[in-house]
Structure 1
Amino acid sequence: MQQHIEQLFHRYQQCFVQGIQGEADLETVAGFFAESFITAWPGGVMTGNNDDQLRGVMGKGFEHYRAMGMRDMAVDHVAVHPIDPMHCVASVAWASTFERSGEAARVVRFTVHYLIQLREGSARIFGWIAGDEEAELRAQGIMS
């Protein structure tokens, strides 16, 4: 299970970096997610479907990060917590690099907890729980 999940997030990282470079393949990115999902963050809880609306939100997200100066996103560590043979929580430590004109590069670290299902030989994300990323970006002077 650990190997499947680590591979999933390393492929996701590659697609994310393409997205912030303006070369997003939204179909491939959407392929990391199950047909439906749940997400929780300080602003609330939301459910959604893997559809055109999700692809639109992902595209806007890449544009938003790029506009803030994000230049790289890397997996620092993946901790897999099995629930049963088909499900786990993957705690992924990310390091995002921001570079803006005239400023030194800054690395912001954060962890997201993903709900993963292994089905038919592949791993899919069906949920994620994120902390207050915006607060950390404000503390680092990246967002106001």
Structure 2
Amino acid sequence: MNTLEAKARALFKDYSRRSNAALHAPESADTDALASAFADHFVGASPAGVMGGAKDPSFPAILRQGFEAYRASGGTRFEIVNLEVETLDDFNAMVQADWEFDYVRPRDGAKGTIAFRNLYFVNFAGGEPKIFAWITPDEAQAMKDHGLA
């Protein structure tokens, strides 16, 4: 395993741990630490389209709102269960992260898991890994398919 791969794995291991903790207690989550995983500017793509933005002071609060919504939908676990890292050059890597989102559906107590794969692009300028782009599946549709939205 090369240095970039090791740093990317460490970044996502920490990101997964913090994401799961934020799901369990969004009001006290360390969203500043979660936000620190991202570059100052980023882009995301999903079936809904492409968005881009700057990591401004409101970003941690936006992350907290997301975890509050996951918790309200019945989320009980949100973790990366598998990582694949491909070094692209001396400063960039692509990370395939297999996430699992466990839930207990609020309306009837049914339990389930939504499994999905996100692709992340990570830059190592300055020596520290930062997520600058991601590609996600249709999260809203998956939530509907599981009766959570």
Aligned residue number for residue 10 of structure 1? 13
**Structure 1: runs of 5+ lacking an equivalent:** none
TM-score, with structure 2 as normaliser: 0.89
Match of 1:21 among 13, 19, 24: 24
Q: Percent sequence identity over matched residues?
A: 27
Letter in 2 for 1:110: F
CA contact (8 A) 2:105 2:147 kept: no
CA contact (8 A) 2:19 2:79 kept: no
Aligned residue number for residue 130 of structure 1? 136
CA RMSD of aligned residues (A): 1.4
- Greater fraction of residues in strand: 1
Q: Tell me the alpha carbon deviations over residues 39-70 of structure 1, each in whole angstroms, 9 at most, x when there is no partner.
A: 11111111111112222211110111010011
Letter in 2 for 1:3: A
Cα distance in 1, alignment partners of residues 137 and 68 from structure 2: 21
Q: Tell me the alpha carbon deviations over residues 71-120 of structure 1, each in whole angstroms, 9 at most, x when there is no partner.
A: 11111111112211110111100011112355242111001111101133
**Structure 2: runs of 5+ lacking an equivalent:** none
Aligned residue number for residue 78 of structure 2? 73
Shift of 1:137: 1.7
TM-score, with structure 1 as normaliser: 0.91
